[in-house]
Amino acid sequence: MSRASVVFGGGCFWCTEAIFKQLNGVLAVTPGYAGGSTKNPTYQQVCTGTTGHAEVIRVEYDARKITFEDLLEVFWLTHDPTTLNRQGNDVGEQYRSIILYQNEEQQRLAEASLKAADASGRFPSPIVTEIVSLEIFYPAEDYHQDYFARNPSQPYCRMVISPKLRHFKEKYQS
């Protein structure tokens, strides 16, 4: 196995975790926080918008089964990378679109992918996704792990995550 990882932020980490867990070759998805300056942030701190951290997921994958480029494509397709600090009704810096690379190759591929996605005409506005080096990833509290799988009838899950997952499966996994 060729195990690799990447950290993405594309809005609420409950949504992004649920999407990326559907992918063949993804070994683990861990919600957490990254991109800010507060050490060991809590969910309550991140929600204030004062930590600089985004809600993110760390995606661990088998690079022989799914490529970094494939993961980038899913990233672009499953959130709106053109809205600054917002995804739907989730508003604040913690919901920003961000790719946190771990090496020069990831940086190069992420920047090329952003440029191609921006030039594709797929989005009505310019992409505002940040591409920055991952300094440190803080796993979120236990109750955020596998949130959708453990809470499918929770209102946010039913009204936001379930339709997003259904759309993803219908459009991109068929």
Residue 34 has pLDDT above 90, yes or no: yes
Domain ranges of the chain: 3-172
Question: pTM for the full model?
Answer: 0.95
Helix axes 68-77, 104-119, angle to 10 degrees: 40
SS3 (DSSP) at 167: helix
Residue 173: is its pLDDT beyond 80? no
Q: pLDDT tens for residues 112-143?
A: 999 999 999 999 999 999 999 999 999 999 99
**For position 135, what pLDDT does the model report?**
96
Q: Identify the pLDDT of residue 174.
A: 58
State the catalytic residues: 12
Whether 172 shows a pLDDT value over 90: the answer reads no
Q: What is the pLDDT of residue 129?
A: 98
Q: For the segment 60-77, what is each residue's pLDDT rounded down to a tens digit? A: 999 999 999 999 999 999
Question: What is the pLDDT, as a whole number, of residue 170?
Answer: 86
Residues 87, 72 contacting (CB under 8 angstroms) = no
Name the CATH architecture for the domain at 3-172.
Answer: 2-Layer Sandwich (3.30)
Mean pLDDT score, 156-163: 94
| Range scoring the smallest mean pLDDT among 26-30, 131-135, 170-174 | 170-174
Q: What is 131-170 written as a DSSP string?
A: EEE----EEPPGGGTTHHHH-TTSHHIIIIIHHHHHHHHH
* pLDDT mean across residues, the chain: 95
Mean per-residue pLDDT, 6-34:
97
